[in-house]
């Protein structure tokens, strides 16, 4: 079946699913396969559960009238999503970067929803499966779409752009993330820069952080650039700490304080680009202010929690050397009492793993802490004076037996470190 014919079936049943556990009556099931399973084997189950059709790529699992046989299920899903994307003549804003992608996406979505019907990536569905699923959720009444793009190797963003066809783009930053896959910081910039490459070729528009000099080099040749930052930009402001939260004192195009519930000055550029995007698309400044103060981070992303007598900054969704440094330095400069840090190892560092964790310990050494716990094999052979556990399960057991009281605690680590278990032990 060609994509145009499949699209007609999709329009009759415009809900796509890749997980039989989430199927609803009338969905189209795409039988994606993984490293350890054959998705085709779930086709019959999907039909039993009410799927209208199951898209498969193995003729052995054909069910007459219920399955659609294609050459490759993943490729078919991506091509269907691209076909759906081409039906829209609205702004498509793509967001990538090493840190802050999801927070930036959520802030921009909150701001734009004050004026527009806005479709945005749910959670962090920002990969080769999540992006097409996001595109296929866009309804005919959508006025703006926001597509988050994650990547850990070269040519990944390039491929996503060919599916999502963005008209606007944002690179939040290029830090030391996924070094193993990208092959160093220059590789990160090259990989993330594929978004700017696409927009340069298609005469698109970018929102550029003027405070990051390297983005200027990456953006050369792009005619339509909207800048934001702390100085010499079209939209300017500076961070103002309000307890542990960061507010933004906007100075151009007008003077106004934008309050948030986001922890740390490292969230300043995320707030600034949301303001810039909102104003560019004509959202009233008071509506932007309302959207920003209403946004509450979740899912272990810079959440401020109160657990008994303890105040916790839970930032355990992900970590890399850049975000770790910013979080530690910001926490160290707050007025919070009895500052305690629980840090998990950083993943995907490749050959730089030992070097980066040594530098992290050296950074911790610069400040006074009530106590420090390090978690993960990444810290095992690095000399330090702190408490160490092999994994977060062991650390959580220790915390249960030695519960903290009246502490201010920063919890941060890569997703694989599962640092949320330690928060749960309090």
CATH number at residue 7: 3.40.1390.10
Same domain, 110 and 229: yes
- State percent of the chain over pLDDT 90: 87
Same domain, 25 and 150: no
Q: Is residue 81 part of a domain?
A: no
For the stretch 269-318, pLDDT in tens is 999 999 999 999 999 999 999 999 999 998 778 889 999 999 999 998 88
The tokens describing 139, both together, are 């309804």
Same domain, 20 and 139: no
For the stretch 26-44, pLDDT in tens is 999 999 998 889 999 999 9
Written in H, E and C, the secondary structure of the chain is CCHHHHHHHHHHCCCEECCHHHCCCCCEEECCCECCECHHHHHHHHHHCCCCEEEECCHHHCCCCCEEECCCHHHHHHHHHHHHHCCCCCCEEEEECCCCHHHHHHHHHHHHCCCCCEEECCCCCCCCCHHHHHHHCCCCCCCEEEEECCCCCCCHHHHHHHHHCCCEEEECCCCCCCHHHHCCHHHHHHHHCHHHHHHHHCCCEEEEECCCHHHHHHCCCCCEEEEEECCCCCEEEEEEEECCEEEEEEEECCCEEECCCCECHHHHHHHHHHHHHHHHCCCCHHHHHHHHHHCCCCCCCCEEEEECCEEEEEECCCCCHHHHHHHHHHHHHCCCCCEEEEEECCCCCHHHHHHHHHHHHHHHHCCCCCEEEEECHHHCCCCCCCEEECCHHHHHHHHHHCCCCCCEEEEECCHHHCCHHHHHCC
Same domain, 64 and 102: no
Residue 181 confidence (pLDDT)? 73
Q: Which of 33, 52, 74 is the last residue of a domain?
A: 74
Q: What is the pTM of this model?
A: 0.92
Q: Which of 294, 317, 352 is the last residue of a domain?
A: 294
Residue 301 confidence (pLDDT)? 82
Q: How confident is the model at residue 350 (pLDDT cuts 50, 70, 90)?
A: confident
Same domain, 261 and 351: no
Range of the domain at 375: 303-424
Q: Is residue 9 part of a domain?
A: yes
In total, how many domains does the chain have? 3
- State percent of the chain over pLDDT 70: 99
Q: What is the mean pLDDT of the chain?
A: 95
Same domain, 125 and 252: yes
Same domain, 160 and 216: yes
Q: Which of 40, 74, 108 is the last residue of a domain?
A: 74
CATH number at residue 223: 3.40.1190.10
Q: Is residue 82 part of a domain?
A: no
**Interval 391-407 mean pLDDT:** 97
């Amino acid at each position: 079946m060609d994509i145009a014919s499949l699209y007609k079936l999709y329009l009759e049943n415009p809900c796509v699913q890749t997980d039989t556990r989430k199927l609803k009556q009338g969905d189209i099931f795409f039988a994606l396969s993984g490293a350890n399973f054959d998705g085709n084997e779930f086709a019959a189950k999907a039909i039993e559960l009410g799927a209208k059709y199951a898209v498969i790529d193995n003729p052995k699992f054909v069910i007459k009238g219920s399955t659609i046989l294609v050459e490759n299920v993943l490729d078919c899903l991506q091509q269907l999503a691209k076909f759906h994307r081409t039906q829209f003549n609205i702004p498509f804003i793509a967001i990538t970067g090493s840190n802050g992608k999801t927070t930036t996406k959520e802030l921009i979505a909150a701001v734009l929803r004050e004026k527009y019907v806005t479709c945005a990536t749910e959670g962090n569905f920002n990969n080769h499966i999540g992006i097409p699923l996001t595109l296929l959720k866009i309804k005919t009444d959508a006025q703006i779409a926001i597509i988050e793009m994650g990547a850990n190797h070269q040519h990944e963003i390039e491929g996503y752009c060919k599916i999502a066809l963005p008209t606007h783009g944002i690179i939040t930053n290029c830090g030391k993330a996924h070094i193993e896959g990208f092959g160093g910081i220059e590789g990160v910039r090259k990989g993330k820069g594929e978004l700017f490459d696409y927009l340069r070729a298609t005469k698109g528009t970018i929102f550029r952080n003027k405070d990051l000099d390297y983005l200027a080099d990456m953006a050369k040749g792009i005619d339509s650039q909207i800048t934001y930052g702390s100085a010499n930009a079209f939209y300017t402001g500076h961070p103002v700490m309000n307890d542990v939260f960061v507010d933004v004192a906007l100075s151009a195009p007008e003077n106004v304080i934008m309050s948030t519930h986001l922890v740390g000055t490292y969230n300043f550029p995320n707030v600034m680009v949301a303001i810039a995007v909102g104003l560019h698309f004509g959202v009233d400044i008071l509506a932007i202010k309302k959207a920003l103060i209403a946004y509450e981070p979740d899912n272990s992303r810079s959440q401020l929690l109160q657990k008994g007598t303890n105040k916790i900054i839970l930032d355990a969704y992900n970590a890399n050397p850049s975000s770790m440094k910013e979080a530690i330095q910001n926490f160290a400069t707050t007025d919070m009492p009895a500052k305690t840090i629980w840090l998990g190892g950083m993943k995907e560092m490749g050959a730089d793993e030992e070097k980066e964790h040594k530098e992290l310990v050296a950074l911790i050494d610069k400040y006074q802490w009530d106590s420090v716990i390090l978690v993960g094999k990444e810290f095992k052979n690095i000399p330090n004076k702190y408490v160490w556990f092999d994994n977060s399960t062991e650390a959580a057991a220790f915390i249960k037996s030695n519960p903290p009281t009246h502490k201010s605690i920063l919890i941060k680590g890569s997703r694989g470190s599962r640092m949320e278990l330690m928060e749960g032990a309090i």
